[in-house]
Chains A and B, each alone.
Chain A
Amino acid sequence: MNSKIKLAFEKIVGTSNIITNDLNPFNTDWMNKYVGSSQIVLTPQTTVQVSQILKFCNENLLKVVPQSGNTGLVGGSVPINDEIIISLKKMNKIQEFDLNSAILTSESGVILDNLNNYLLQYKYQMPWDLGARGSCLLGGNISTNAGGLNVVKHGLLRNYILGLEVVLPNGKILNLLNKNRKDNTGTDLKQLFIGSEGTLGIITKANVLCIPIPNEKKVFFLELKSFQDVIKVLQKVKRNEQLLAFEFMEGRILYKNMHRHNGNQLPFQFQEDRYYVLIEISGQSINVDSFSMDMMEFTQEIIMNQSEKEAQFLWKLREEIAESMGKMGYVLKYDVSIPPDKFEWLVNQIYPKREGPFHVYYGHVGDGNVHINIVFEQLEDLHKEEDKIEQKLFGLVKSEGGSISAEHGIGQHKRKYMELQKGKDVLECMNEIKRLFDPNGIMNPNKLL
């Protein structure tokens, strides 16, 4: 690390906000798949510091990687080479919550769980939820338009961001903060930054529309004989406004994970050839009976939680799938959007008769978003198969009018498929906007575009 550069950063953030040792956790992604070689991590504590950092980096053509919780799954939050990492974790002040408008104003470095803990006293919660809630930060969620478990009821994160404060690559602070529910005053610039994965600027503050904590929730677990039955149940219950989450899982992974729960009562004796669905409903005063009748049209194999503990256990069965597969070997992870009734077909196109390495599909079928995980015992086998699988998978997804990334984003992983997904013209337009905001190409280079 050039000592003049380090000195300049010391002047901006102070030595206590510069890390040059033990950088492994910052350089490595959550899956241990992507590893960079940054020599320095900065942890600014104010927007002005972020602005000064970016101004300096832009003037000196120094590449940077903005980093939040580093829980992304496409290598978007770690350096590829020795880019300077700007960590937002110390920008962690929650500023206020306006109870009348239900609008939260917060810096972007607050952990999602902590936002929810803060909102508890007002009986409100964040409008999105995902498994990484204990580690992911607000800024990372916004810059990736995080999806998660409740999109089927609450919709996209995008719709709940009313305002942003963004620092542009040249250091200019763009004040897009807004605490009005409605504001039709021209081009909605903040939408550019939401989901652009840190390539256009750094989000430092946000105004978020929050939602009331429901009075009642119930979790159901269903056993179904075929994937088509999953679709039939989905079509029926999707019409019910109480539906909060609809997650489906193949029997083969639940069966394999049974040994993790010795001594615990399971909702069913999982069978490899069955399909399982976790349904959660919520409301201020829920009607369990009518919902039960709807589900019972398709199966009698339904259990319902009676306590909070049972609800947490049922969710664990779903949320541990990613981690349990990670323990089986080296995993290729895909996250695509495609009409829900085509999930089974899609997987059978990649592995006819479901032969080949152990692979599982599961996920937010209510949103048309399927996760496909493929496990390889040897890393070389993964690398050998990776391109072949992706080209086939993404080609099929594109031909069905789907999306190669429903919620995980592009990062490093899917950059080379952007032209396939978006087409030449759209991609060129995205690149023009990138060049407009970041002419020197310093912001999270070689990611997304």
Chain B
Amino acid sequence: MKVLVAVKRVVDSGIKVRVKPDGIDLQGVKMTINPFCEIAVEEAVRLKEKKLIAEIVAVTIGPKQGAESLRHALALGADKAIHVTTEARIDQAVQPLDVANILAKLVERDNYNLVLMGKQSIDDDFNQTGQMLAGLLDWPQATFASNIQITDGIAQVVREIDGGLQTVKFKLPGVITCDLRLNQPRFASVPNIMKAKSKPLETIPLDKLGKLHNSIQITKTEAPAIRKGGAIVENVDVLIQKLRNEAKLF
């Protein structure tokens, strides 16, 4: 069984972002693999350790530095990597439908049995790509996975949904997007990081697989308003007065 794991490179969640009028300032900023994508890689590695899958291929879309996230995935245990190269801003111009179309092309080319992805990326929080990909491929999908079992080509996935947990079952191939409680990714070991350098990494220019349509335009980026101090009110009358006159609620 062959698994494709899609990973996105995002601004490191441990650092403070700086907001510019045209978006987040990426100049000199530390970037790392999207946390949910890392969980997807870890899950693929665990499935391979259980001998349920034979090969893991990691793919990313982005500029030259994107290869670092692929090296990270390879160090965690992926076997091969594909780098779809583009100079476009990954946090703005690389959008879900375009990504899904590109991934669909790769699935058709390489015949994967399973696609694992993070449920969403922490920069745009779209939570759409996995679902769109399944639609384009006409494959079953299970999103927000907190548990994955694979037996004889059947995937059984526990999903975290608003009301609690839902278990779905489907025959592979399919798309599964991964949620926070699925697993805790391991640390990358230095010997594995060194070995990852000699694992195969294929580079494909984006226009060979698809196009970026920029159908969603970002019109404004601003930092959240600084929270003003609250006030304790004496009684309900004062509260109503403040809601009416200051908060202008009614």
Contacts from A to B (Cβ < 8 Å): 215, 220-221, 263-265, 267, 289, 292, 295-296, 300-312
Contacts and interface: CB of A to CB of B under 8 A. Distances in A.
A221 B186 CA distance: 13
Given A221-B187, A306-B72, 11 more contacts: A215-B28, A267-B187, A301-B189, A302-B190, A302-B191, A303-B189, A306-B187, A307-B30, A307-B33, A308-B14, A311-B14
Contacts of B14: 307-309, 311-312
B188 A308 contact: no
B185 interface: yes
B188 A304 contact: yes
Contacts of A220: 190
Nearest to B68: A306
Contacts of B241: none
Contacts of A292: 190, 193-194
B32 interface: yes
A302 B193 CA distance: 10
A101 B91 CA distance: 38
Contacts of B189: 300-304
Contacts of A264: 184
B38 to A, nearest CB: 8
Given A292-B194, A311-B14, A306 B30 contact: no
A296 B15 contact: no
B86 to A, nearest CB: 23
A146 B37 CA distance: 42
Interface string B155-186: 00000000000000000000000000000111
A304 B184 contact: no
Contact of A308 (B30, B185, B186): B30
Interface in B39-67: none
Q: How many B residues touch the partner, as a band?
A: 10 to 19
B149 interface: no
Nearest to A295: B190
B188 A306 contact: yes
Nearest to A221: B187
A306 B191 contact: no
Contact of A303 (B12, B72, B188): B188
Given A215-B28, A311-B14, A312-B14, A305 B193 contact: no
Contacts of A289: 194
B179 to A, nearest CB: 15
A289 to B, nearest CB: 7
B122 to A, nearest CB: 11
Interface of B: 12-15, 28, 30, 32-33, 72, 184-191, 193-194
Contacts, number: 57
B138 to A, nearest CB: 35
Most chain B CB within 10 A, of A264, A292, A301, A306, is at A306
A264 B184 CA distance: 7
Contacts of A311: 14
Nearest to A292: B190
Given A292-B194, A302-B191, A307-B32, A265 B186 contact: yes
A308 B194 contact: no
A215 B28 CA distance: 8
Contacts of A305: 187
B14 to A, nearest CB: 3
A270 to B, nearest CB: 13
A299 to B, nearest CB: 9
A221 B193 CA distance: 14
8 contacts: A220-B190, A296-B194, A302-B189, A303-B190, A306-B32, A307-B30, A308-B14, A308-B32
B187 A308 contact: no
A308 B12 contact: yes
Given A296-B190, A306-B72, A307-B14, A263 B28 contact: no
Contacts of B184: 263-265
A289 B193 CA distance: 9
Contacts of B33: 306-307
B25 to A, nearest CB: 13
A251 B146 CA distance: 33
A94 to B, nearest CB: 20
A300 B190 CA distance: 8
B13 A308 contact: yes
A303 B13 contact: no
A265 B38 CA distance: 13
The 8 closest A-B pairs by CB, nearest first: A308-B14, A303-B187, A302-B190, A265-B184, A307-B32, A309-B14, A308-B12, A292-B190
Contact of A304 (B12, B15, B187): B187
A264 B12 CA distance: 18
Contacts of A221: 187
The CB with the most chain A CB atoms within 10 A, among B14, B185, B187, B188, is that of B187
Nearest to A311: B14
A343 B190 CA distance: 28
Contact of B191 (A296, A307, A310): A296
Nearest to A120: B16
Contacts of B12: 307-309
Nearest to B31: A307
A304 B186 contact: no
A352 B13 CA distance: 47
Contacts of A312: 14
Contacts of A300: 189, 191
Contacts of B186: 265
A48 to B, nearest CB: 34
A312 B13 CA distance: 12
A265 B186 CA distance: 6
A123 to B, nearest CB: 9
A308 B15 contact: yes
A265 B187 contact: yes
Nearest to B28: A215
Nearest to B184: A265
Nearest to B194: A292
A291 to B, nearest CB: 9
A447 to B, nearest CB: 40
Nearest to A266: B187
Contacts of A301: 189
